[in-house]
């Protein structure tokens, strides 16, 4: 029995759980079969990263009252610095914004309007916006409007104890994409670094009510949830740095593994179609809370060397949570991220993951894309920062697959 000391497992668990999760010990074979590749990671055809804005980025959600504030803080640029982010091509980086429940056509109109603006200001630089608008137009044309909404609120934990595999990027962009297609989405940022909160342009400095207050101070979720200023239909429960201390503080709390679940149970989730929980890169009590709080687990796997290492440990933890704390938890989705089509290694990792996990692996793989990595520094998802980029289109496809998963419908 793996008692996983320090993780808050019950001291005398009932059923022993088999430690041996079959078939997950493959990194060793992989390591001998495959050479690590050191080729550059830029996707073909993608421009070099644009210079990041220096200094503080704009904080745009300040005026939003806690608990489902109104849409539409549309300020851009920073109040402090007057800096207006650009996409590195002379055009304003902000992407089309929509009002609540507006359809794709509005999105397209605004994208076209942006394209016109950039043509006026700099004809030779108008191309990227035009491509983005064209992509949106194509989406609208093939009827890629609102997707089916699940018949219950799907609470999806996004976890992998490895850092840098795309947990936050996937949480943010899948959420944005689902919201852009009509779903009501809440992202719970459970990583003390607060990267998901940053990516949505949601304030998360020390004074902001955050997930810490929910887990440690028993604050209701409705006190901390705010609307993301960039996109309608999207809400965020921000993380602040003091969440780092929560790992320790939780240890002495009653029901330390189930505090997020309790908060979710006491919250009116009915208005949401999806709750996505972005986890920190560890298997500590924060991640355990996310596994107990979620019904589904989405594991992002980076298509790189050592990608599969540690996965066995994650799956063992899932088995323990299922056995003792949350029987309905299931690995519903695996998403292959940062795929570099030029390397044999990426294809090999993808093949191994597919042969092991089967149909829970989404068909869509997320390519490495400079635009994906640039977007957070502008307080945006790539879905709004550059909707025509390969990364945005891939996240859009992945989100569409999720929206059509049978698990979304129980009847
Ligand atoms: P995690 O949350 O698992 O630690 P992140 O989502 O923060 O991982 O991603 C780690 C880093 O990789 C970030 O700098 C992010 O911008 C970058 N990144 C993630 N996905 C991609 C991608 N598809 N293409 C390029 N960079 C990516
Ligand atoms: Mg992260």
Per-position pLDDT tens, the chain of length 411: 333 333 334 333 333 333 333 333 333 333 333 333 333 333 333 333 333 333 333 333 332 223 333 222 333 333 333 333 333 333 333 333 333 333 344 443 444 344 333 333 333 333 444 444 544 554 544 446 789 999 999 999 999 999 999 999 999 999 999 999 999 999 999 999 999 999 999 999 999 999 999 999 999 999 999 999 978 999 999 999 999 999 999 999 999 999 999 999 999 999 999 999 999 999 999 999 999 999 999 999 999 888 888 899 999 999 999 999 999 999 999 999 999 999 999 999 999 999 999 999 999 999 999 999 999 889 889 999 999 999 999 999 999 999 999 988 776
141 and 235 housed in the same domain? yes
Mutate to test the pocket of ligand 1, among 52, 164, 287, 394 (most ligand atoms within 8 A of CB): 164
Neighbours of ion ligand 2 (CB under 5 A): 167-168, 191, 195
151 and 232 housed in the same domain? yes
15 CA to centre of ligand 2 in angstroms? 33
152 and 245 housed in the same domain? yes
**Can you give the CATH number for the domain in which 224 is found?**
3.40.50.300
72 and 139 housed in the same domain? no
224 CA to centre of ligand 2 in angstroms? 20
205 and 312 housed in the same domain? yes
The ligand that comes nearest to the alpha carbon of residue 160 is 1
* Tokens of residue 276, six digits: 């996505």
Does any domain span residue 107? no
266 CA to centre of ligand 1 in angstroms? 32
59 and 140 housed in the same domain? no
d(CA 190, CA 210): 10
The protein residue whose alpha carbon is closest to atom 22 in ligand 1 is 368
DSSP 92: B
The protein residue whose alpha carbon is closest to atom 24 in ligand 1 is 368
Q: Which atom of ligand 1 is nearest to the CA of 195?
A: 7
360 and 276 housed in the same domain? yes
273 CA to centre of ligand 1 in angstroms? 25
Q: Which atom of ligand 1 is nearest to the CA of 169?
A: 6
Q: Looking at residue 310, what is its pLDDT?
A: 82
Q: Looking at residue 407, what is its pLDDT?
A: 87
Tokens 């491509």 appear where?
Answer: 131
Does any domain span residue 103? no
292 CA to centre of ligand 1 in angstroms? 25
Per-residue b or e along 28-51, where b marks 16 or more CB atoms closer than 10 Å to that residue's CB: eebeeeeeeeeeeeebeebeeebe
Mutate to test the pocket of ligand 1, among 373, 382, 391 (most ligand atoms within 8 A of CB): 373
The ligand that comes nearest to the alpha carbon of residue 391 is 1
The protein residue whose alpha carbon is closest to atom 26 in ligand 1 is 373
151 and 242 housed in the same domain? yes
Does any domain span residue 165? yes
DSSP 170-229: HHHHHHHHHHHTT--EEEEE--TT-HHHHHTT---STTS--HHHHHHH---GGGT-EE-S
Q: Looking at residue 46, what is its pLDDT?
A: 39
Does any domain span residue 95? no
Q: Which atom of ligand 1 is nearest to the CA of 394?
A: 23
The ligand that comes nearest to the alpha carbon of residue 166 is 1
The protein residue whose alpha carbon is closest to atom 19 in ligand 1 is 166
The ligand that comes nearest to the alpha carbon of residue 286 is 2
Does any domain span residue 383? yes
65 and 192 housed in the same domain? no
Mutate to test the pocket of ligand 1, among 169, 187, 282, 300 (most ligand atoms within 8 A of CB): 169
The binding-site residues of ligand 1, defined as CB within 6 angstroms of any ligand atom, are 163-169, 195, 281, 337-338, 366, 368-369, 372-373, 391
Q: Looking at residue 255, what is its pLDDT?
A: 94
303 and 158 housed in the same domain? yes
Instruction: State the residue range of the domain holding 28.
Output: 12-34+45-76
Alpha carbon separation from 5 to 1, 205, 251, 288, 317 (Å, rounded): 11, 32, 11, 13, 12
28 and 177 housed in the same domain? no
Q: Looking at residue 108, what is its pLDDT?
A: 39
Tokens 């004809």 appear where?
Answer: 123
Q: Looking at residue 37, what is its pLDDT?
A: 35
* Tokens of residue 366, six digits: 């997320």
Q: Give the count of domains, the chain.
A: 2
d(CA 409, CA 16): 33
Q: Which atom of ligand 1 is nearest to the CA of 339?
A: 23
Does any domain span residue 119? no
Does any domain span residue 221? yes
Q: Which atom of ligand 1 is nearest to the CA of 375?
A: 16
244 and 382 housed in the same domain? yes
d(CA 55, CA 83): 9
Q: Looking at residue 136, what is its pLDDT?
A: 53
40 CA to centre of ligand 1 in angstroms? 16
* Tokens of residue 47, six digits: 């421009």
Q: Which atom of ligand 1 is nearest to the CA of 171?
A: 6
Does any domain span residue 118? no
């Amino acid at each position: 029995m793996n008692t996983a000391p320090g993780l808050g497992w019950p001291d005398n668990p009932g059923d022993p759980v088999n430690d041996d999760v079959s078939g997950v010990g493959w990194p060793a074979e992989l390591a001998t079969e495959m050479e690590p590749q050191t080729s550059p990671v830029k996707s073909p055809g993608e421009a070099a990263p644009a210079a990041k804005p220096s200094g503080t980025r704009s904080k745009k959600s300040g005026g939003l009252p806690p608990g489902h504030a109104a849409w539409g803080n549309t300020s851009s640029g920073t109040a402090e610095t007057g800096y207006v982010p650009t996409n590195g091509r002379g055009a304003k980086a902000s992407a089309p914004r929509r009002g609540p429940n507006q359809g794709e056509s509005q999105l397209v109109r605004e994208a076209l309007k942006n394209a016109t603006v950039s043509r006026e200001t700099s004809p030779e630089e108008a191309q990227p916006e035009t491509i983005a608008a064209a992509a949106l137009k194509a989406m609208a044309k093939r009827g890629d409007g609102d997707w089916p909404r699940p018949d219950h609120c799907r609470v999806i934990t996004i976890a992998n104890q490895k850092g840098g595999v795309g947990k936050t990027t996937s949480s943010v962009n899948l959420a944005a994409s689902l919201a852009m297609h009509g779903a009501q989405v809440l992202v719970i940022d459970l990583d003390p670094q607060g990267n998901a909160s940053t990516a949505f342009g949601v304030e998360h400095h020390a004074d902001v009510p955050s997930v810490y207050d929910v887990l440690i101070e028993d604050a209701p979720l409705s006190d901390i949830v705010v609307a993301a200023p960039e996109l309608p239909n999207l809400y965020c429960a921000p993380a602040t740095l003091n969440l780092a201390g929560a790992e320790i503080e939780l240890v002495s709390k009653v029901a330390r593994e189930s505090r997020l679940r309790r908060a979710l149970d006491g919250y009116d989730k009915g208005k949401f179609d999806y709750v996505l929980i972005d986890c920190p890169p560890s298997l500590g009590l924060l991640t355990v809370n996310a596994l107990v709080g979620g019904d589904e687990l989405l594991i992002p796997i980076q298509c790189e060397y050592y990608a599969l290492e540690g996965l066995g440990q994650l799956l063992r933890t899932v088995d323990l949570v299922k056995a003792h704390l949350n029987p309905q938890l299931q690995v519903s989705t695996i998403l292959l991220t940062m795929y570099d089509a030029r390397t044999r290694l990426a294809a090999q990792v993808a093949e191994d993951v597919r042969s092991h996990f089967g149909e829970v692996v989404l068909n869509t793989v997320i390519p490495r894309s400079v635009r994906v990595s640039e977007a957070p520094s502008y307080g945006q998802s790539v879905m709004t920062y550059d909707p025509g980029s390969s990364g945005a289109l891939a996240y859009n496809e992945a989100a569409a697959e999720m929206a059509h998963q049978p698990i979304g419908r129980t009847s």
